[in-house]
Amino acid sequence: MASRRCLNALTHQLRSLASLNSSFQSVRALHQLRTLVASDPLLLENPTSITYRIGHTFESTSCIQSQTVRPYSSGRRNSSKPQNDDDDNEADEDDDIDEDEDENENEEEMGESSDGDGEGDHIPVSNCVSNRSYSLEETEKEADAIGYKVVGPLGPSERPFKPWEPVFAVVQIGSHQFKVSSGDCIYTERLKFCEVNDKLILNRVLMLGSKTQTIIGRPTLSDAAVHAVVEEHALDAKVIIFKKKRRKNYRRTKGHRQELTKLRITDIQGIEKPEMAAAKKPEKVAVAA
């Protein structure tokens, strides 16, 4: 068993050397090993002499250094193996080739983008929503799906705020419903396509009401509209999220601040507004002395 194990180890070493030199001479050296062992079986007792002879043959035939021929080892897994300089050099050469190919591909892509006459210009779009560029149609479509429409910025000479009127409306913004009157202030989730001092129209009106009549939509009122102005974008108070699993040494604490948009209601349209009677001051009665 020991001699067979020794022969297998030597054959494995010579195959590794043959992979480095793919010439026919390395195959001839492997054939010489088999003939040596067949002619003199006692050589298996001293394997270092065989490795020396085969290494000498490789030096004379294929110009491979004798340092690459490893002495016989017992084949243990924890034995230390010397580093192979040829493998490191080949790995470095492969890395250099890959880097050159990547540089050439980048140069070709830059050349194609610069040589074009404007026909194949593409705007880079990332996966992040904040960096995405929306067209005018996409902006209007998404805003309408939420329940509002951006009219434009508020002018310096405009005075949209009116005195309070005895009319209310129920509007839906996103997935939330609000009962509002003129002059009220509401906080909604952050609205995408509007800035501070922009005028909005809340077009998803569910109900209108006053002292004399009430109009209910099925589900919305097409002729009704609620006008508002964006006052600020703010953050809600911090909410603590704490998770715990007992007897598992698991505790997680997180904080969250929801982004909000503050809206000021300026007008409600789609219902007859009752006239507000002027409040009469009580007359003073003269007291007789």
Q: Look at residues 190, 202, 201, 174 and name the one whose alpha carbon lies nearest to residue 232.
A: 190
DSSP state of 278: P
Predicted pLDDT of residue 214: 94
Are 159 and 259 part of one and the same domain?
Answer: yes
Determine, yes or no, domain membership for 120: no
**Residue-wise pLDDT tens digits, 68-82:** 445 444 445 444 444
Amino acid letter, 256: H
Are 164 and 254 part of one and the same domain?
Answer: yes
Say if CB 222 and CB 185 are below 8 A apart.
no
Determine, yes or no, domain membership for 173: yes
What is the value of pTM for the model shown? 0.50
Determine, yes or no, domain membership for 277: no
Determine, yes or no, domain membership for 81: no
Predicted pLDDT of residue 60: 52
Predicted pLDDT of residue 114: 46
Predicted pLDDT of residue 13: 76
Predicted pLDDT of residue 202: 95
For the chain, what is the domain count?
2
Report residues of the chain scoring pLDDT below 70. Answer: 1-2, 18-131, 276-289
Predicted pLDDT of residue 18: 64
Range of the domain at 153: 136-269
Predicted pLDDT of residue 256: 97
Determine, yes or no, domain membership for 85: no
Which ranges in 116-196 belong to alpha helices (H)? 136-146
Predicted pLDDT of residue 145: 93
Predicted pLDDT of residue 129: 44
